[in-house]
Amino acid sequence: MLTELREYVVRPGAMADFVRVFTEQVVPLRRRFGFRVEGVWVDEPGDRFVWVVSHPAPDGWEAAVGVYQEARVQSVHPDPTSFLAEVKTSLVTPLDVVG
């Protein structure tokens, strides 16, 4: 399983619209393509939206994301990236430190 940390800076005043598109359209589409949303956090005063998403990615992360992105462009409206001022992503590795 590969996991990606995604950090967004949302344009001021656009958080509610972005969250609506994310929850109503992005998450269901991600799930349809085998992704699992591990967690979502919002820092409204800082206009930050952070989430973690995983996928088995048997053909690699880029292949899994590519298939999803093609479908997103066709079916998610408005484009969720139109609400964003900045995007940072990185593949992360979990550590077993709890317990």
**pLDDT digit string, tens, across residues 20-56:** 999 999 999 999 999 999 999 999 999 999 999 999 9
Residues 56-80 as b/e (b if ≥16 CB within 10 A, e otherwise) read: ebeeeeeebbeebeeebeeebeeeb
Residue type at 44? E
Averaged over 89-97, what is the pLDDT?
92
**Pairing assessment for the beta strands 2-10 and 36-43 based on DSSP bridges:** unpaired
Q: Is the pLDDT of residue 67 over 80?
A: yes
Please give the model's pTM, rounded to 2 decimal places. Answer: 0.92
Question: Alpha-carbon distance 63 to 68, whole Å?
Answer: 9
Question: Alpha-carbon distance 36 to 30, whole Å?
Answer: 7
Instruction: For the chain, give the mean pLDDT.
Output: 96
Helix (H, G, I), strand (E, B) or coil at 44: coil
pLDDT at 99: 65
pLDDT at 72: 96
CA atoms within 13 A on the CB side of 83: 19
In the beta sheet, which residues pair with residue 87?
Answer: 8
